[in-house]
Structure 1
Amino acid sequence: MRSTLRVALVLLTLGLIGGQPTSGLAVATGDPLKLTSGFYVDPGSAAAAYVRRHPEDTELAAKIASQASARWFGAWSGDVKAAVASYTTAADKADKLPVLVTDNLPGRQCGLGGGASTDTAYRTWIAGVSAGIGSRPAVVVIEPDALARLDCFPETEWTGRIALLKYAVGVFAVKNPNTWAYLDAGNAMSGDAPEIARRLRLADVGKIRGFALNTANYYTTAESTARATDILTALGGGLHYVIDTSRNGNGSNGSSCNPPGRKLGPPMAAGTAPTDLTLWLKPPGESDGPCGLTPTLPTRTFSPILAHHLIAGT
């Protein structure tokens, strides 16, 4: 966070500026873009680690490792409060905006399993993510495909799963004043837009900044924008959204698992309302799972093969 705002926030915490009570003084804007000077390039990303081992790969270094992308947090993150605090603190010291994705709902997305072991464990975990961010500026995308793939679970489980998302929304809304949080809404082809809007509403999306589209998928920005417009219409407007452009340069071929012929999309940037941001949510080069171009590569594992296919668009 910029130094003048940092000092002001400390004084606000003490309750005094210039010896006077600070009631009503709005120093923390709540807008993480105004509190930072660009997006955080994660030196701990898998792409950055690969480039450190292979400095001769200057193309990958320039096109991917040097670009800002999100960091995902899940069961693999260990002490999530500490992990998130370390990440957001490093970004804050650099005066840059970190982007986080939470991916730990019990059962996670359809067919993947994993995630928190119980509902109580998830609530504790998401509270840890929130505590790790605190008042530092951040962008958070909540649980990719959790609403869009709700149909994969028995209807008897829907209410409980939505309640967990509602809890996550409420935590970020109350505890993180300088965070823009977005509840994931699937992609351009995720069923019926009014139904997705209904699910977003049930999860209290109106308490946070808005929703996210195309997370870890390949649909074009134009397709995602059209989808967002349909969802906003069904919601009655008033919200904002972000789009994952990390791999959408050539659009989708219908597959969402390491398909060939895909390409990097535009790097992270601020948008024009109601599009808040275009983001690299899925770090380019990280596998969707053992499928497509890398049939034996586990999920989240970095591959220079995938990375170079995205660079070349082949």
Structure 2
Amino acid sequence: MLRAVTTGVLLTAAVLALGRPTPGQAEATGDPLKQTTGFYVDPASSVAAYVRRHPEDTALATKIAPYASTHWVGAWSGDVQTSVTAYTTAAQQVKQLPVLVTDHLPGRQCGIGGGAASDAAYRTWITAVSAGIGARPAVVVLEPDALARLDCYPPAEWDGRIGLLKYAVDVFAAKNPNTWAYLDAGSATSGDAKEIARRLRLADVGKIRGFALNTADYFTTEQTVAHSTKILQALGGGTHYVIDTGRNGNGSDGSSCNPPARKLGTPPARTPAGPSAPVDLHLWLRTPGESDGPCGLTPDLPTRTFSPALAHHLITGT
């Protein structure tokens, strides 16, 4: 998503709207990486809990558990403002950067169900997510596949769904001065880059940091960069993006649901090209070992449920 660089006027207005940071919050700089010392490794994550129970599993303890993954928020999050506040506060206490993914648009991706009960409920919910972060540093990826799979919905619904994404973008642009927010743009095969760029513009991507690609998918970094370059060209540049590298070490076999013979990708990090490059970060947006749903290698495992068997497949690439 095209994020035009936030202007000084907008940043000043956002800080004034928030007031001075409360004790424990960061002063606004706009760059969450400068305020933190690495990505937040959640000690309460499912993989961390597994390793504590199974210290003999040195492969998981060394290949997956030490690396930061992402905190997904949705209908399962309960009071989402309280949940997000707790998560980002815990990260700030250790001076690390939390990464979150919101997944609560009505109907979610291609009508798989769940999500907010109405447009109004979503607006209230995403505002609560934003309030839970406040001025603390964070990275947020907004609504996986919401733009890329827009064609799954009747054309009469498109404007309304894009309007909700625009609302989310506007909230984070105005209320979270130390958050880099990225609007999800699908994967390397999610359609024509010019059309994805058009949808990103409609959702006001220029107000935030940029867009995200390959969320919970398997396409190689090289494929993703090539697609991202076309999106950037269609947008006219001026934006940034992040790539999910958690499970793309062997690339995609065409399936995005627990396929066999996939492999871990590069660990989460600021990209080697540095802060001047359009690609900001490599992130693990789906924790390696967490299920994509009841399919593929784990036909009975619900989404986001951790499986040591899946994790070991990713470690070995088999």
**Pairwise same-fold verdict (TM > 0.5):** yes
User: What pairs up with 1:21-100 in 2 under 5 angstroms?
Assistant: 28-100=28-100
Residue 277 of structure 1 corresponds to 281
User: What pairs up with 1:197-216 in 2 under 5 angstroms?
Assistant: 197-216=197-216
Residue 296 of structure 2 corresponds to 292
Paired with 1:111 and 1:51, the residues of 2 have a C-alpha distance of 35
Residue 144 of structure 1 corresponds to 144
User: What pairs up with 1:224-239 in 2 under 5 angstroms?
Assistant: 224-239=224-239
User: What pairs up with 1:163-178 in 2 under 5 angstroms?
Assistant: 163-178=163-178
Which segments of 5 or more consecutive residues in structure 1 lack a partner in the other structure? Answer: 1-8, 15-26
The one-letter amino acid of 1:93's match is Q
The one-letter amino acid of 1:221's match is T
Residue 18 of structure 1 corresponds to none
Deviation of 1:65 after TM superposition, in Å, equals 1.5
User: Secondary structure at the residue paired with 1:228?
Assistant: helix
User: Secondary structure at the residue paired with 2:109?
Assistant: coil
Deviation of 1:28 after TM superposition, in Å, equals 2.4
Residue 114 of structure 2 corresponds to 114
Runs of 4+ in structure 1 off by over 3 angstroms are none
The one-letter amino acid of 1:289's match is G
Give the TM-score normalised by the residue count of structure 1.
0.91
Paired with 2:135 and 2:20, the residues of 1 have a C-alpha distance of 11
Comparing 108-117 and 86-95, the one that deviates more: 108-117
Residue 241 of structure 1 corresponds to 241
Paired with 1:111 and 1:293, the residues of 2 have a C-alpha distance of 23
Paired with 1:137 and 1:56, the residues of 2 have a C-alpha distance of 35
User: Secondary structure at the residue paired with 2:120?
Assistant: helix
User: Secondary structure at the residue paired with 2:180?
Assistant: strand
Paired with 1:213 and 1:229, the residues of 2 have a C-alpha distance of 11
The one-letter amino acid of 1:183's match is L
User: Secondary structure at the residue paired with 1:110?
Assistant: helix
The one-letter amino acid of 1:295's match is P
Q: Kindly report the root-mean-square deviation, in angstroms, between the aligned alpha carbons of the 2 structures.
A: 1.2
Deviation of 1:275 after TM superposition, in Å, equals 0.5
Residue 20 of structure 1 corresponds to none
The question of 1:307 aligning with 2:311 is answered yes
Residue 132 of structure 2 corresponds to 132
Which segments of 5 or more consecutive residues in structure 2 lack a partner in the other structure? Answer: 1-14, 22-26
Which of residues 16, 20, 23 is equivalent to 1:13?
Answer: 20
Deviation of 1:29 after TM superposition, in Å, equals 1.5
Larger Rg: 1
User: Secondary structure at the residue paired with 1:243?
Assistant: strand
Deviation of 1:113 after TM superposition, in Å, equals 1.0
Q: CA-to-partner distance for each residue in 1:96-132, whole Å, 9 max, x for gaps?
A: 0000000000000014111011111101110010000
Paired with 2:38 and 2:300, the residues of 1 have a C-alpha distance of 36
